[in-house]
Amino acid sequence: MITPQNIFRHELVGLNVEVVKSSHEGFTGIKGEVIDETKNTIKVEDVEGCEKIIPKNVVTFQFTLPDNTVVEIDGSIIVARPEDRIKKKFRKF
């Protein structure tokens, strides 16, 4: 089960996401469902069906977990391929 404590180690595809902070104004406010993830980017499909590619290292994401818990994560923490992130050690938060 995905929780706020272990979200770093889980697949992000399928989760609802919103960009809450960004060093680039154009990314702030993007909402939708994660449809793909690479080492440095997340692809989001918004409510209108448009696909947006967002770089992880310049934004802060707000993910909504399946149990409706909201988790805010600095994108620079999750810069890694999804399969490599499972092996990575994270500080307790």
**Domain 7-85, CATH class in plain words:** mainly beta
- pTM of this structure: 0.86
Residue spans of the domains in the chain: they are: 7-85
Tell me the C-alpha distance between 57 and 41, whole Å.
8
pLDDT for position 80:
86
Mean predicted confidence (pLDDT) in 16-40: 95
Average pLDDT of the segment spanning 2-10: 85
| pLDDT > 70 fraction of the chain, expressed in percent and rounded | 94
* pLDDT at residue 73, rounded to an integer: 94
61 or 88, greater pLDDT: 61
Ramachandran angles phi, psi of 30, nearest 5°: -65, 130
Q: How far apart are CA 90 and CA 35, in angstroms?
A: 24
Cβ–Cβ under 8 Å, residues 73 and 60? yes
Tens digit of each residue's pLDDT (9 = 90 or more) over 31-57: 999 999 999 999 999 999 999 999 999
Average confidence (pLDDT) over 18-29 = 94
- Cross-sheet strand order for the sheet of 59-64: 51-55, 41-45, 31-37, 16-22, 59-64, 70-74
